[in-house]
Chain A
Amino acid sequence: MILFRKARGWGYPHSLLKSPPPQPNRHLSPLPHLLNSNPKIEPPTMPFRHAIRGTTYHFNSLRELLARASPLRSGDQLAGIAAETQEERVAARFALADLPLTTFLSEAVVPYESDEVTRLIFDSHDRDAFAPIASFTVGQFRDWLLSTEATTDSLAALAPGVTPEMAAAVSKLMQAQDLISVAQKIRVVTRFRTTVGLPGRLSTRLQPNHPTDDPAGIAASIVDGLSLGSGDAVIGINPATDNPDIVTTLLRLIDFVREKFSIPTQSCVLAHLTTQMAAMKQGAPIDLVFQSIGGTEATNTSFGINLALIAEAHQAARELKRGTIGDNIMYFETGQGSSLSANAYHGCDQQTLEARAYAVARHFRPMLVNTVVGFIGPEYLYDGKQIIRAGLEDHFCGKLLGLPMGCDVCYTNHAAADQDDMDTLLTLLAVAGVNYIMGIPGGDDIMLNYQTSSFHDALYLRGVLNLRPAPEFEQWMQQSTHRQLTVQALLPNTNPREGNLS
Chain B
Amino acid sequence: MNEKFHDSLAGSSIGTPAYAPSATPTRLSQPSLNSYTPARVQLQRTGHSLTTSEILGLQLATAQARDAVHATLDVPALIRGLDQRKLANLILTSAAATRADYLRNPAFGRTLSGNSETALKNISAKDREPAGVYDLVFVIADGLSALAVDRHARQLLDAVLPLLDASWKIAPICVVEQARVAIADPIGEILAAKASVILIGERPGLSSPDSLGIYITWDPRAGRSDADRNCISNIRPEGLSYQEAAALLHFYLTESRRLQRSGTLLKPSSVAHHLPEKTI
- Which residues of A pack against B, CB within 8 Å? 74, 77-78, 208-214, 216-221, 223-224, 227-229, 238-243, 270, 290, 292, 294, 333-335, 337-338, 341, 372, 375-376, 378-379, 382, 412-414, 418-419, 440-451, 454, 456, 459-460, 462-464, 466, 468-469, 474, 477-478, 482-488, 496
* Contact A335–B280 (Cβ < 8 Å): yes
* Contact A223–B203 (Cβ < 8 Å): no
Chain B residues near A210 (CB, 8 Å)? 37, 39
Across the A-B interface, the 5 shortest Cβ-Cβ residue pairs = A442-B40, A449-B205, A459-B48, A217-B37, A220-B36
Known contacts: A212-B272, A485-B25. The answer to whether A77 contacts B104 by CB under 8 A is yes
A135 to B21, CA, bound (A): 52
The secondary-structure label for the interface of chain B is loop
Q: A333-B280, A413-B66, A449-B203 are in contact. List 10 more A-B contacts (CB 8 A).
A: A212-B272, A213-B272, A216-B37, A220-B41, A294-B280, A333-B278, A442-B43, A450-B205, A463-B9, A478-B18
Known contacts: A227-B24, A441-B43. The answer to whether A468 contacts B18 by CB under 8 A is yes
Mark the stretch among B26-34, B81-89, B117-125, B190-198 that contacts chain A. B26-34
A219 to B202, CA, bound (A): 27
Q: How far is the CB of A492 from chain B (nearest CB, A)?
A: 16
Can you list 29 pairs linking A and B with CB atoms under 8 Å apart?
A: A208-B39, A211-B38, A211-B234, A214-B36, A216-B36, A227-B25, A292-B280, A334-B280, A375-B278, A413-B65, A413-B66, A419-B62, A442-B58, A443-B58, A444-B207, A446-B37, A450-B205, A456-B49, A459-B48, A459-B49, A462-B17, A463-B9, A464-B14, A482-B21, A483-B22, A485-B25, A485-B26, A487-B30, A488-B30
B residues 44-103 near A (Cβ < 8 Å) are 45, 47-50, 54, 58-59, 61-62, 65-66, 68-69, 103
B61: nearest chain-A partner, CB-CB: A444
Residue of A228, A229, A335, A443 contacting most chain B CB atoms (<10 Å): A228
- Inter-chain residue pair count (beta carbon < 8 A): 204
Chain B residues near A213 (CB, 8 Å)? 272
B172 at the interface (CB under 8 A from A): no
Known contacts: A227-B26, A449-B203, A487-B36. The answer to whether A414 contacts B269 by CB under 8 A is no
* Contact B104–A379 (Cβ < 8 Å): yes
Chain A residues near B41 (CB, 8 Å)? 220-221, 223-224, 441-442
* Contact A463–B48 (Cβ < 8 Å): yes
Known contacts: A413-B204, A468-B18, A486-B30. The answer to whether A375 contacts B37 by CB under 8 A is no
Known contacts: A210-B37, A419-B62. The answer to whether A227 contacts B278 by CB under 8 A is no
Known contacts: A378-B104, A462-B19, A483-B25. The answer to whether A456 contacts B38 by CB under 8 A is no
A219: nearest chain-B partner, CB-CB: B36
A494 to B242, CA, bound (A): 34
* Contact B36–A444 (Cβ < 8 Å): no
* Contact A463–B12 (Cβ < 8 Å): yes
Question: Count the B residues whose beta carbon is within 8 Å of the partner chain — how many?
Answer: 59
* Contact A446–B19 (Cβ < 8 Å): no
Chain B residues near A228 (CB, 8 Å)? 21
Q: How far is the CB of B13 from chain A (nearest CB, A)?
A: 9
B239: nearest chain-A partner, CB-CB: A211
* Contact B17–A238 (Cβ < 8 Å): no
B42 at the interface (CB under 8 A from A): yes
A270 to B239, CA, bound (A): 23
Known contacts: A78-B104, A450-B205. The answer to whether A418 contacts B37 by CB under 8 A is no
A477 to B20, CA, bound (A): 8
Q: How far is the CB of A20 from chain B (nearest CB, A)?
A: 41
B99: nearest chain-A partner, CB-CB: A414
* Contact B45–A217 (Cβ < 8 Å): no
B276 at the interface (CB under 8 A from A): yes
Known contacts: A217-B36, A444-B39. The answer to whether A74 contacts B19 by CB under 8 A is no
Residue interface mask B1-22, A partner, CB < 8 A = 1 = 0000000010010100111111
